[in-house]
Structure 1
Amino acid sequence: MAKPGGIARFINSLTGRLTLGLLAIHALMLPMLPAGVVLLVKEGYQNQFVNQVRLDSHLFASLLAQDQNEQRLRQLLHDAVLGGHVIYAEIITETGAVIQPEASRLAQIQFREDFFFSEHDDGVYYLAIPLYDERGKARATLRLGYDETPTLELIQRTYTRSLYFTLAYFVLSLSLTLMLAPLLTKSLRRLRDAAQRIADGNLREQLQVTTSLTEVNSLADDLEMMRRELINKSETLEYQALHDPLTGLPNRTLFDDRLEQALMEARRSGESLAVCLMDLNRFKEINDTLGHAAGDQLLQQVALRVRGALRESDTVARLGGDEFAIVLQHVDNVQHTTHAAQKILSQMEQPMELDGHTLDITASIGIALFPDHGDDTETLLRRADLAMYEAKRAECGYALSQPQLDQARDEKFILGRELRQAINNKQLELHYQPKIDLKTRKIQGVEALMRWRHPELGLLPAAQFIPLAETTGLIHPLLLWVLDEAFSQYHIWSKAGVKLPISINLSSRNLHNPHLPDQIAARLAAWEVPAEYLRLEINESTLNLDPSRNLEILERLAALGVRLTMDNYGAAPASLAYLKKLPIQEIKIDRAILLDPELAENGVLLRMAIEIAHLLGHQVSAQGVENKELLERLSALGCDNAQGYSLSHPMTATQLLQWLKQARHPATNTDHAGGA
């Protein structure tokens, strides 16, 4: 928003408002002042004139009444006119004769008697006074005309003076206002400046406003009280922003800051420091069993014990969940660090009482040293984190960072980060390996195999990144990507006259997702793909991990019309009873059974696997068929379908269409392809 100009700023200021208010008051009141003065003075002067004239005229009439000589009367009238005050004078006798002075200034004007000042607005005040003789009988009438001009001029001068006085008063008042207003508002401006400092975040400067104005002092006290309350709230918020509310320990933000400060000091002094990460073993089990309230109490006790095991100069922070971080400064050697870790673990080994339960708590601590294992915050925390997981894996309490092992883990970490980006950067692609019906030797479907075209490592098979996707949680978005890509390709092939069922592999993590059936149903509907053209393959070992939960997911998938395949059958043999319960239509024999020389000699296990599958009503498929001899043997044993290098390598969608034309393997329809 643009700042207002100088005039607008003045008008919006308190000084400007006071000035404008004074101007408004004067605009209303000052015109009344000269008008009132003129009214009062005019009336006073007029009354004074009339009273004086009447008094003078009566005295003059008394003088004239004593003399009856016409010549002397004429002379008296003449003297009166010459005096200047009387401008008209005459005597009318009872006989009608007129006695006038020798020269009358207004002899030509018609006499009109006035009863009040300037009645006829002719500048002359006329009056008639009878002249009485000794017996009291009126013998004549004296007519006089007094000049009103001097009185009118006096009134006008008074009016002019009142205007000058009013203007002077206005200028003086305005000047005093402009001079005094800043003084009156000085304390308010100080309050404004103080409020601005508070708004800018400067809360440390105490407010000092000295004034005798009660209202301003009261406002200053309120503002000072507000400043102190803001300081208290700011300190509280700052503490809350930098500390864990449950344990009162520093949180990640404050920990990172203290670690940076400690690293700066260590670089200057040439000393070492240690970064430790610790989490509790079996904390989730305790939390789930005893409840979150008990888990919170446990974390509070752990925080007290860790804090009590270390020096005051060391930093202990809670990063979240059951993970704690520690900075040990001024570390002399590795033994100093391991001794601190042992003290912490010793404290943890003491039984803890929680709601009547006695718990034995253990922890795992990972240690990274500056500068041996890293010289910045991110590296040290990553090294300590890797060491902590090594301590947890080895169940040894604590572990130091090992650069050789860390490098491999770092590469895995980087690859995991790149895999996340690969989805958005369109570096993933699907290759398709045909599945052949061994009776008709026609293509029965294809298996979609994921590949990652890494910008530096080249084309990576799924085995090199799917385990990483499972540990990082990326397996779920990867499956959705595979479904979208496969269904899109299904439509492309359909337009080319080829309809092929597509098999997609499910991870154990996918089966743990209770929303999986709904997600697949939504994808099928969105892409308008018939459910029978989707085949889902699940490892036998995966099905054995959590049979009851897996069975519920598989039944929901089968209800969609999706065909299910048990992959790698024979690697971890499931019981026949469980196998019979599964809503599968096909089993795929593990390639280890096919390629084992001893098993290949007699073929007993292979024959049994095929016969059992057929007895249960399932089709049998073999994967990894790499030579013609094995292909013919499988066909002789009654295996239904096969795939492998002896038939075709995995290829792109475009290559598959070319392969179909060259090999003249027509894509079978759904009924033929899906028959069991």
Structure 2
Amino acid sequence: MLPNKDFKGKEYYDYLTGLPNRYYLYDYYRCKNCHLTVAFLDFDNFKYINDSYGHSFGDDVLIKISDILVKMVKNRGKVFRFGGDEFIILFDCKKDEAFKIIENIIERFNYCFKVGNREVLTTVSVGVYISSAGENIDDIIRKADMSMFEAKKLGKSNYVVFNKEMEDTMLKKANMMVDIKRALLEEEFYILYQPIYDLKEGKIKEVEALARWKSEKYGDVPPSVFVPILEETGLIREFGIFVIEGVFNDIKRWMEEDINIKVNINVSPLQLRDDAFFLLFDNLLSKYKVPSSLIGIEFTETQILNIQEQKINKINEFLKRGMKISLDDFGVGYSSLINMINFPISTIKIDKSLIDRIDDKNGSALIKGILYISKEMNYEVVAEGVETKEQVEILKRWGCNKIQGYYISGPKTFEEIKEFIGKKGGWK
């Protein structure tokens, strides 16, 4: 029997809003068991309301949201409180009408509404799934929920309709999370080094450490695929220490053969959240007896934006240890110029996408501008992705300090670097 307000069991209703809850939702869907437009709503940044005004006021906001949703949906569907600031709507109307209501809901919550004496703003992200008769309700909710998170990725206050590709990507990522952990244990990750050539001295004075994954299951997996998963899962801390220790060990082995070359390591801001990071870092420096002058630290522009003000002090910890900091992929992120002022960097690495446009009028003007500003601010500049002799000659004429790219060399193993440094006039 379909539960309703006359049903004695309170377990079918949300204690706060009075809306039907997930138990009601499951029974309601079983009774319908047909094509439905399902919307999964999550209210954006609701935590700020609770943190700013308290959970009691947050509850009042949820009650107000519930009233607004019920009034907007009317008899064209049913609103359920799924939990927290999440709601589900099962629409009984035609699909086009359901989408119109969803759009109106999103638009309504783009504006403030009053709760008590306060004006409140909380936008809403919506995932939409069109169910078929006989589908399992858990699968329906999972797919609508998945779509909602995609809407949040697009900038919130939006809706996304589920598609199979989305599910395949999510499943692949879930499987890859497990495979990455296994790869760490089975040492499938390894480190390569790409030389950086000093144009003034005509020497290779440093290299950049690049992590690579040779997977039995996936083959060669690029960092653009596995690094975001490492960061999402928190495995970046374990992975980061693995890379740092591998680099320190290689530096020690090079030093034993009278090769003293600086290695630049990319550090994720998520690693700096770990209070034990610098303790582990210092222990590894001591273990391998690596001079801090042979270590450089790189952050990308995107990473810099993710470093909150309190973590700038942690960045300064590298400086205290005598290490210099580079801003990588410069020119493709946001707030590039302000980053040059606010963060304690000593080197700018111009992204390959700009170097590729060195013959273009606007591209060349931008590169020359970066070189001029960097010189005025006493920063060194490394041009990344240099692939032709013509690019080298232009950059040298414009006063670029160093170059990195396939014109000099691609990434190389420890042994290859040892041989390459000898050939190119490094230190021996």
TM, length-normalised to structure 2:
0.74
| Correspondences of 1:8-23 after superposition (within 5 Å) | none
Q: Which residue of 2 aligns with 1:381?
A: 141
Please provide the CA RMSD for this pair: 4.6
Call closer, same or farther: CA 1:293–1:623 in 2, change over 3 Å. same
| Correspondences of 1:70-469 after superposition (within 5 Å) | 259=26, 265=30, 271-272=34-35, 275-303=38-66, 316-319=80-83, 321-325=84-88, 328=90, 334=95, 353-359=114-120, 362-371=123-132, 375-377=135-137, 379-389=139-149, 393=154, 399-403=160-164, 406-408=167-169, 411=172, 415=176, 418-419=179-180, 422-469=183-230
Q: Write the letter of the residue equivalent to 2:282.
A: L
Call closer, same or farther: CA 1:665–1:510 in 2, change over 3 Å. farther
Say whether the 8 Å CA contact 2:124–2:156 is kept in structure 1.
no
Say whether the 8 Å CA contact 1:434–1:446 is kept in structure 2.
yes
Call closer, same or farther: CA 1:475–1:355 in 2, change over 3 Å. farther
Identical amino acids, percent of aligned pairs: 25
Q: Write the letter of the residue equivalent to 2:207.
A: V
| 1:332-375 deviations in Å (ceiling 9; x for gaps) | 86468658868977997997543421435553332323337x94
Q: CA deviation at 1:433?
A: 0.7
Say whether the 8 Å CA contact 1:249–1:318 is kept in structure 2.
no
Call closer, same or farther: CA 1:443–1:580 in 2, change over 3 Å. same
What is the DSSP-based 3-state SS (H/G/I as helix, E as strand, rest coil) of the residue aligned with 2:417?
Answer: helix
The answer to whether structure 1 residue 534 and structure 2 residue 295 are counterparts is: yes
Say whether the 8 Å CA contact 1:305–1:348 is kept in structure 2.
no
Call closer, same or farther: CA 1:548–1:400 in 2, change over 3 Å. closer
What is the DSSP-based 3-state SS (H/G/I as helix, E as strand, rest coil) of the residue aligned with 1:537?
Answer: strand
Q: Which residue of 1 aligns with 2:277?
A: 519
What is the DSSP-based 3-state SS (H/G/I as helix, E as strand, rest coil) of the residue aligned with 1:364?
Answer: strand
Call closer, same or farther: CA 1:420–1:355 in 2, change over 3 Å. farther
Q: Write the letter of the residue equivalent to 2:80.
A: V
Measured in 2, the distance between the counterparts of 1:310 and 1:602 equals 56
Say whether the 8 Å CA contact 1:539–1:566 is kept in structure 2.
yes
Q: Write the letter of the residue equivalent to 1:384.
A: A
Q: Which residue of 1 aligns with 2:4?
A: none
| 1:359-410 deviations in Å (ceiling 9; x for gaps) | 35553332323337x9445542332023324555487765543345555555
Q: Which residue of 2 aligns with 1:126?
A: none
Give the greater-gyration-radius structure (CA): 1
Q: Write the letter of the residue equivalent to 1:444.
A: K
Measured in 2, the distance between the counterparts of 1:442 and 1:422 equals 36
Measured in 2, the distance between the counterparts of 1:338 and 1:617 equals 56
Call closer, same or farther: CA 1:622–1:359 in 2, change over 3 Å. closer
Measured in 1, the distance between the counterparts of 2:399 and 2:297 equals 23
Call closer, same or farther: CA 1:617–1:281 in 2, change over 3 Å. closer
Say whether the 8 Å CA contact 2:330–2:336 is kept in structure 1.
no
Q: Which of 400, 404, 408 is the aligned partner of 1:647?
A: 408
Measured in 1, the distance between the counterparts of 2:402 and 2:176 equals 36
Q: Write the letter of the residue equivalent to 2:192.
A: H
Measured in 2, the distance between the counterparts of 1:514 and 1:602 equals 37
The aligned length equals: 414
Q: Which moved further from structure 2: 554-563 or 606-615?
A: 606-615
Measured in 2, the distance between the counterparts of 1:438 and 1:642 equals 7
Residue ranges of structure 2 left out of the alignment (5+ in a row)? 1-8
Q: CA deviation at 1:650?
A: 0.6
| 1:258-291 deviations in Å (ceiling 9; x for gaps) | 64x677x57xx96345544211134244334433
Q: CA deviation at 1:447?
A: 0.6
Measured in 2, the distance between the counterparts of 1:447 and 1:564 equals 13
Q: Write the letter of the residue equivalent to 2:198.
A: D
Q: CA deviation at 1:564?
A: 0.6
Q: CA deviation at 1:428?
A: 2.6
Call closer, same or farther: CA 1:339–1:585 in 2, change over 3 Å. closer
Measured in 2, the distance between the counterparts of 1:369 and 1:601 equals 47
Q: Which residue of 1 aligns with 2:3?
A: none
